Chain A
Amino acid sequence: MLEIKDLRAAIDGKEILKGITLSVKPGEVHAVMGPNGSGKSTLASVLAGRETFEVTGGSVSYLGEDLLELPAEDRARKGIFLGFQYPVEIPGVSMVNFMKTAINEQRKFKGMDPISASDFLKLMREKKEIVEITSSLTNRSVNEGFSGGEKKKNEIFQMAMLEPKLAILDETDSGLDIDALRIVANGVNKLRNKDNATIVITHYQRLLDHIVPDHVHVLYKGRIVKSSGKELALELEEKGYDWLKEEN
């Protein structure tokens, strides 16, 4: 469903992604790992359509369409979801209004009528249960004053609300306590099916105990320097990245 070919991206003339090739099929989970600053979040942002990064080469096709041609909102409407490493606080925009607007924009795109008030409330209730977040959070402004862990749970809540086809989760596990990690992982697993795919960006094996990946990739200096099965994550946990850095 996602074909990334030799993707290059730069910011302020500085090349950060230096030729990434990656193929994701429906039903798969891919883990992307790699040292700090290697370009993982940049890859996620470019896929989600962030214009601050300039695509300098390569191609990305998503469900047979040229993804790079689409503005961020259209990508989201077509099923791409980015779980932010650093979710943004938006004072004054309520979670409820935010989610209702997002759902309705998605529905409009599909030619559907706006969701009814009661259906929306039902949907909210249902999805809140999946990620075990309380109304005290969803009654507030988007991420405003949320703790680090609460912000991450809120990302999964939004993902549950929007039911994406391709979810890219950027370090959704960092800053989570053990219970929260389990909840988030369960949330992701509950939403998995044979038609959708997930890319999880993480530094830790422990998330991958819960969300078992089909493929693990190591990103280093803007390139994928190693791809393998789930055992690669264990190897990295044990040996660190130095052996890979030396090879490259």
Chain B
Amino acid sequence: MTPIELQEELTSLYTQHADTIAKSSSETINNRRVKAMEDFVRLGIPSKKTEEYRYTNLMPYLKGEYTYELAPARFSVDLNDLFRCDIPTLDTNIVLALNGFFYEKNQIDRLPEGVIISSLAKASLEYPELVNQHYSRYADTSLDSLAALNTLFAQDGIFIYVPKNVVLDKPIQIINVGFSLQNLRITRRNLFVAEAGSQASILICDHTLCKSSFITNSLTEVYVGENARLDIVRMQNENDKSSLINNSFIYQAANSHLSSNTISLHGGLIRNNVFTKLDGKGANNETYGLFFCKEDQHVASFTHIHHAKPNCTSDQLFKGVLDDNATGAFNGKILVDKYASKTLAYQRNHNILLSKQAKMNTKPQLEIYNDDVKCSHGATVGQINEEALFYLRSRGIARKEAHHLLMYAFADEVISKISLEPLRERMNDMVEKRLRGELSHCENCAIQHN
């Protein structure tokens, strides 16, 4: 299958079901489809010629027979019973999404006045103005054809709204579940709005609950208002036959703070695109990522941090460990506008190759149109430190354990950036299990995949 054939298949899939999709959605969501279709048709499925995807060959992962669900799937089992991904020391507000749709049996706790955690489809009907003010305002579908594709098919996902000056003590935990007997293509659309002065943290766990192969096109728009603080931690742990394309579009107002920490543990293809616009003085952004991949996996991180206003800071740290035939890519772009004086922008990317066949491509891109900025970037691709390995072994530590200690030390720099302690501990635990090869599912998941 060629990229063009896939593009045709997807556009005709849309045309065929356009009515059903439109009927299930609000005007707000439907209104954005025309431009999305134009962009998707113009951009096409990314190929080797697409600069941003030069090192990510999507086609081997995206081709094949997949079904598509136009309405939420119904299972007799209650995911709330099945899926107890609770963090013992951490009390979270759990919200489940099944195959991209807000789960009908979600049991959301009482929330502080004005806070909304809901289905995006439903929210766009219940709060049309609010959703319309933000929906598809940050996602620029002309930048990424898969973002365009997402906007074209978008029906549902999670909507989170934190009103002005509200501080949510309890983190929100979104659990995305892929559950299907047949291979399934999923579209998932989230919108998070943190109004001025508010504070919240969101943990997003991506899972597949069975051995079917999933292709998920996920897009999350995030608005962080003035002086607001939002911390997002993602844990990507789908089965190794599945592909996850995850676009994030982040908009930050003055003096806002956003941290994003993406930990990728399992999955066949993982592509994380983060587009961030620092559009108010003094905004602060931290974008971190850590991945482990092996066999024929591919994990790619693409970041685009746009400093549009003065006195903003951004810090990026991405680390990866690649084994077997795995391949990875990091493409980190920092764009500093001519108005964005006193910008501080840092970027680091470090990778370890555990095999001769593993490959990592890393490419920093700095575009700076202002003289009064401090920018730095650094990238390394290396092997495990043999000297350190021998040092540890010379103290009686078995090679395997020594290896584990070194990998864990490498990962720790990213994990330690997670500010919420119970979340950090939980991620620690998950990474530790992943390193020991014991992790293929969440400890508490009732349904396990390999």
Contacts and interface: CB of A to CB of B under 8 A. Distances in A.
Partners in one complex: yes
Interface of A: 48-50, 52, 71-73, 75-77, 81-82, 84, 87-93, 97-98, 101-102, 105-106, 109, 141-142, 158, 162
B397 A91 contact: no
Interface in B377-429: 385-388, 390-399, 401-402, 405-406, 408-410, 412-413
Given A90-B388, A93-B405, A82 B394 contact: yes
B395 A93 contact: no
B409 A91 contact: yes
Contacts of A158: 395
Contact of B396 (A50, A76, A87, A141): A76
Query: In this complex, which of B393, B394, B395, B406 has the most chain A Cβ atoms within 10 angstroms of its Cβ?
Result: B395
A103 B402 CA distance: 13
Contacts of A48: 394
Nearest to B390: A50
B392 to A, nearest CB: 7
Given A50-B390, A72-B390, A102 B409 contact: no
A73 B394 CA distance: 6
A88 B388 contact: yes
Contacts of B413: 92
A76 B408 contact: no
Contacts of B402: 73
A101 B394 contact: no
Contacts of B390: 50, 72, 88
Interface in B315-353: none
A238 to B, nearest CB: 35
Contact of B406 (A90, A109, A162): A90
Contact of B395 (A76, A91, A92): A76
A5 B402 CA distance: 31
Interface in B59-103: none
A105 B396 contact: yes
Contacts of A109: 396
A34 B167 CA distance: 69
Given A77-B396, A92-B408, 15 more contacts: A49-B393, A50-B390, A72-B390, A72-B393, A73-B399, A81-B394, A82-B394, A84-B394, A88-B387, A90-B388, A90-B391, A92-B409, A93-B392, A98-B405, A102-B396
A101 B399 contact: no
Contact of A105 (B397, B410, B412): B397
A158 B387 CA distance: 17
Contacts of B406: 90, 93
Contacts of B412: 92
Contacts of A71: 393, 399
B391 A101 contact: no
B392 A162 contact: no
A88 B391 contact: yes
Contacts of A142: 391
28 contacts: A50-B390, A72-B393, A72-B394, A73-B397, A73-B399, A76-B394, A76-B395, A76-B397, A81-B394, A82-B394, A84-B391, A87-B391, A88-B385, A88-B388, A89-B388, A90-B392, A92-B408, A92-B410, A92-B412, A92-B413, A93-B388, A93-B392, A93-B408, A97-B405, A98-B405, A102-B396, A105-B401, A141-B409
A52 B406 CA distance: 19
Contacts of A75: 394
Closest CB pairs A-B (n = 6)? A92-B409, A76-B396, A102-B395, A88-B391, A72-B393, A77-B396
A92 B402 CA distance: 13
Contacts of B398: 73, 105
Contacts of A76: 393-397
Contacts of A89: 388
Nearest to B410: A92
B81 to A, nearest CB: 37
B391 A73 contact: no
B342 to A, nearest CB: 31
Contacts of A50: 390
A106 B395 CA distance: 9
B339 to A, nearest CB: 38
B208 to A, nearest CB: 31
Query: In this complex, which of B385, B390, B402, B406 has the most chain A Cβ atoms within 10 angstroms of its Cβ?
Result: B390
A142 B390 CA distance: 14
A92 B398 CA distance: 18
A105 B399 CA distance: 11
Contacts of A141: 409
A101 B388 contact: no
Nearest to A93: B409
Query: In this complex, which of A73, A77, A81, A105 has the most chain B Cβ atoms within 10 angstroms of its Cβ?
Result: A73
A73 B408 contact: no
Contacts of A101: 397, 401, 405
A19 B391 CA distance: 26
A92 B412 CA distance: 7
A76 B396 CA distance: 5
B28 to A, nearest CB: 47
Contacts of B394: 48-49, 72-73, 75-76, 81-82, 84
B175 to A, nearest CB: 30
A92 B392 CA distance: 13
A102 B388 contact: no
Nearest to A84: B391
A246 to B, nearest CB: 36
A92 B386 CA distance: 16
A92 B384 CA distance: 14
B38 to A, nearest CB: 48
Query: In this complex, which of A77, A93, A97 has the most chain B Cβ atoms within 10 angstroms of its Cβ?
Result: A93
A148 B114 CA distance: 59
A52 B410 CA distance: 24
A106 B398 CA distance: 10
